[in-house]
Homo-oligomer: A and B are copies of this chain.
Amino acid sequence: MNDIARVAGVSLATVDRVLNDRPGVRKVTIAKVQTAIDTLGYIRDTAAANLARKRVYTILFILPATGSEFVAGLEEAIRDQSQKLALDRTQLRVAKATPFDPQQIVAALDAVDPHEVDGIALFGPETPSIRDAVRRIRARGVAVVALVSDLPSSDRDHFVGIDNLAAGRTAAQLMGRFLRIQGTVLVLTGSRLARDHLERRQGFDLVMADEFPGQQVVASVEGRDDPALINDLLTRAFDSYPDLVGIYASAADHAGLIQYLSQSAPGKGPVVVAHELTPMARRALRDGVFDAVINQDRGHLVRSAVRVLRANVDGVPFNPTQERIRIDIYLKENLPA
């Protein structure tokens, strides 16, 4: 900046104004500075900038208040990042809202103080009232991204999560390949409200129909993360379809499923493809109860949300390819330690 100031024949303060698009600089002056910047090949030192600014970014994660291992894992990832980001002048907060109750999320969103919170990562269903609440808080100058489950109806949206259609396709490819005999494949889903589950189901059906037409995929059953309900559903499914050879668990809560499988299908059970590498899923994979798990790295989700929101707050662009969350596949052989 000193060099630029010298070359442009202005003061440091003016260079700063130009660099940060601050008002109160004549066009000619801007041009002079701009030229100097270009010729000198200047790259800004964000660390120094933040140091001087003493700015602290506050980012709020709004998560569903379930006892789900997946959400617990997300919270852990958030705590993890908190540590590191403290040095980076970024503060992370978490709020919980009852799932399946949009009004709570709306309330949480409306309760946000724009002076206290710079950005929000929202993991919730896609409903009109939530969409409106997102609009409102954005209008008050807070950046918002959708987390895990997309909210495409809201404008200027960025989504932090995997491509769930592709994830469903991946699940289907694994299922189809792993199945040795023809039969019925059951899709076990969480809730119809959740857009991520819907998309997975869609992708799964497409590939199964296309590439494995010999297998019969039956209408999904909604488990709502309720072990008792799931137990019930599965019992009925195995009754109705004696040739049940595969289960695609597109939701993230595996308690009911694992419980049922471990007790009712001793030895050789159906091929099971599930989502999210939770502690339970790890064990199931290791024990041969699950055959494959599709995962989205929770650390990546959190880091990406933070990066995108910070970029948004600063009004700078981010690198979309870097922010694409990968669809991880785990077998028992490549489980991380």
* Complex Cα–Cα for A299 and B47 (A): 22
CB within 8 Å for A47 and B87 given contacts A167-B334, A326-B328, A334-B329: yes
Task: Pick the residue among B46, B178, B326 that contacts A177 (CB under 8 A).
Answer: B178
Residue on B nearest A48 in the bound complex, by CB: B51
In the complex, the answer to whether A87 meets B46 with C-beta atoms within 8 Å is yes
In the complex, the answer to whether A334 meets B327 with C-beta atoms within 8 Å is yes
Residue on B nearest A330 in the bound complex, by CB: B329
CB within 8 Å for A174 and B328 given contacts A45-B87, A47-B87, A86-B43: no
Answer yes or no: A333 CB below 8 A from chain B CBs. yes
* Complex Cα–Cα for A86 and B46 (A): 11
Task: Bin the interface of chain A by size.
Answer: 20 to 34
In the complex, the answer to whether A333 meets B51 with C-beta atoms within 8 Å is no
In the complex, the answer to whether A166 meets B324 with C-beta atoms within 8 Å is no
Q: Which of A131-176 contact B (CB under 8 A)?
A: 166-167, 169-170, 172-174
In the complex, the answer to whether B43 meets A87 with C-beta atoms within 8 Å is yes
Answer yes or no: A315 CB below 8 A from chain B CBs. no
Contact with B along A318-337 (1 / 0, CB 8 A): 00010010111111111011
Answer yes or no: A50 CB below 8 A from chain B CBs. yes
* Complex Cα–Cα for A265 and B174 (A): 24
Answer yes or no: A255 CB below 8 A from chain B CBs. no
CB within 8 Å for A331 and B328 given contacts A47-B51, A177-B178: no
Q: Which residues of B contact A326 (CB under 8 A)?
A: 328, 334, 336
Q: Which residues of A contact B (CB under 8 A)?
A: 43-48, 50-51, 86-88, 166-167, 169-170, 172-174, 177-178, 207, 321, 324, 326-334, 336-337
Instruction: List 6 extra interface pairs beyond A51-B51, A173-B331, A329-B329, CB under 8 A.
Output: A46-B87, A48-B51, A169-B333, A174-B331, A177-B178, A327-B333
